[in-house]
Amino acid sequence: MDKDRAEGVLLGLACGDALGRPVEFKSAAEIESEYGTLREMVGHGTWEKPAGTVTDDTDQALCIARSLATRSDFEPADIADRFVQWYDTEPFDIGAMTRLSLQQLQQGARWDVAGREVWEASAEGSNAGNGSVMRCPPLAVAYPDDPSHLVRVSRHSSEITHADPRCTNGCAVVNLTLAAVLRGNSDPLMTALDYIKPEAPEELVTALEPVARGNEPRTLPTSGYVIHTLQTALYDGLRAENGEQAIVRSVNRGGDTDTIGAVTGAIAGARFGASAFPDHWLAAVDEEPELRTLAAQLMDL
């Protein structure tokens, strides 16, 4: 695997997260009114944090990557423990289903029970967020050549907090797509969909097939619903002409900008490599050195 592209997955995720953080929840019109086109890491805004600050997207991806690097394998119980330790630091940004699941884990629930109980207790419309697809890309760097194993660990990583099949299979789609890009596959998303289609929800496959064919959907929604995030992030990540353009385009659409930016950035990073992102973006992200180190360790797995 190309080292620059492996680093690109993790650093693209962080750059998309950090660029989108100050405008999270703003509409495209509001972003345009304030920034024109947001192209630089800026401070304050949503969450009132310094420029380059990442959110729960990168924080949880780091939990997964650190676990893989330390344990030399996928151990969901260890990842769940790391999520709880992170939650104990009182992060400024955390999704509702993630919070509820981690509270269950704090109270002693098993990693494969907590998320399922939260999902079963949640009403439709609040039970399939994008909180697991945003953090799953480290798995693709660790297991790019074993699709069966990659699907299994992707689904399990989601189940810790997001057990809905749209979420578990959404993680599988993201990681199969990333792995196919890293292997040089010319049709990565369709390859991913063909692999998971027998078990994936029809709604997920139907929403993503037009993107896989290269057609721009009539709308590219930017809500926190997992299918909306995947439609928009996969479209921008796979169709942009360079890594910077992919992230800028996705963030300036508004909505759940940090997460859509993070998933887009991971895809774009796999395509173009970390070297394709502006140096001043990378310098603004404090986690850059660790993310490079972790990428090398995940490649060694």
pLDDT, tens digit, 9 for 90 and up, residues 206-237: 999 999 998 877 789 999 999 999 999 999 99
Global pTM value: 0.98
- 153: containing domain: 3-296
Please, what is the Cα angle at 197 between 192 and 201, to 5 degrees?
115
Q: What is the rounded distance in angstroms from the CA atom of residue 241 to the CA atom of residue 246?
A: 7
What is the end-to-end Cα distance of the chain in Å, rounded? 11
Q: Is residue 259 part of a domain?
A: yes
Question: How many CB atoms are closer than 10 A to CB 141?
Answer: 29
Residue 283 corresponds to which tokens in the numbers above? 């310098």
* pLDDT of 271 above 80: yes
pLDDT, residue 3, reads 96
Residue 253 included in any domain: yes
User: In the block, which residue shows the tokens 């353009």?
Assistant: 245
Q: Using 50, 70 and 90 to split pLDDT, how confident is the model at 4? A: very high
Confirm whether 77 is domain-assigned: yes
Largest CA distance in the chain: 48
Residue 247 belongs to some domain of the structure: yes
Contacts of 147 (CB under 8 A, 6+ apart): 176, 179, 195
Contact 190, 212 (CB under 8 A): yes
Rounded to the nearest integer, the mean pLDDT of the chain is: 97
State the pLDDT at residue 219: 83
- 301 located within any domain: no
Q: What is the mean pLDDT of residues 257-285?
A: 98
Domain membership of residue 248 (yes or no) is yes
Residue 215 lies in a domain: yes
Would you state the pLDDT for residue 1? Answer: 79
Predicted pLDDT at 180: 98
- Listed residue (293, 271, 259) closest to 13, CA to CA: 259
In tens, the pLDDT along 122-166 reads 999 999 999 999 999 999 999 999 999 999 999 999 999 999 999
Instruction: Assess contact for 290 and 24: CB atoms under 8 A.
Output: no
- pLDDT, tens digit, 9 for 90 and up, residues 38-88: 999 999 999 999 999 999 999 999 999 999 999 999 999 999 999 999 999
Eight-class DSSP state of 44: B
Residue 171 covered by a domain: yes
Amino acid at 264: T
- Give the count of domains, the chain: 1
Nearest to residue 16, comparing CAs of 274, 276, 259?
A: 259
Q: What is the DSSP letter of 21?
A: G
Asked if residues 222 and 232 have their Cβ atoms less than 8 Å apart, the reply is yes
DSSP 128-153: -BSTTTTT-THHHHH-TT-HHHHHHH
- Given a cut of 80, is residue 265 above it in pLDDT? yes
- Per-residue pLDDT band for 26 (boundaries 50, 70, 90) equals very high
- Stronger pLDDT, 1 or 155, i.e. the higher one: 155
* CATH code, 46: 1.10.4080.10
